[in-house]
Amino acid sequence: QVEALKAQLEEARSYQQETRIVAPLDGYVSQRIMDAGEMVAAGAPILTLASKTGFKVKIYADETKFGSLQLDRPVKVVLPALAGAEVNGRIIRISQSADFATRKATNEQNSFDVRALQIVVLITDNDPRLRTGMTARVKLVSMGK
């Protein structure tokens, strides 16, 4: 009977090891999907993590600005929620195709729709006040000659 109890204890310890949750990144919980004590299927999400670093900003720029956009170009990211604070960033992605129209053609001669390109900016400053989902405005930094 003692051996059976030892086997049950070992099995319980094995199950306990499988319940350990490890985050894939250093961050904070931005959304809790499940609460303690709820049954969860294997592989089901229980929370959403937000990174403390490596924030990205997705913007859409008029295709007319395409000539001034290039990968690794420095930018300033303005954050209205932080009293207009500016942080540094750089362009890490420029979409390969234009998306929706930002301005529609008028009846004027030679008028055309102006389409938008998605640009992704990586914030290179580590500001602890940054949060996922904040509104941001991106300004191109002048390229000195």
pLDDT surpassing 60 at residue 145: no
Instruction: Evaluate whether 145 touches 86 at the Cβ level (below 8 Å).
Output: no
Across the range 2-15, mean pLDDT stands at 91
User: What pLDDT digit, counting tens, does each position of 89-134 carry?
Assistant: 999 999 887 776 665 656 666 666 777 888 999 999 988 888 888 9
- Measured distance CA(136)–CA(106) in Å, rounded: 30
The amino acid at 93:
R
Instruction: Evaluate whether 96 touches 66 at the Cβ level (below 8 Å).
Output: no
User: What pLDDT digit, counting tens, does each position of 9-22 carry?
Assistant: 999 988 888 777 77
Residues facing 90 on adjacent strands? 74, 122
Tell me the domain boundaries of the chain. Answer: 2-50, 54-140
Q: Does domain 54-140 fall into CATH 2.40.30?
A: yes
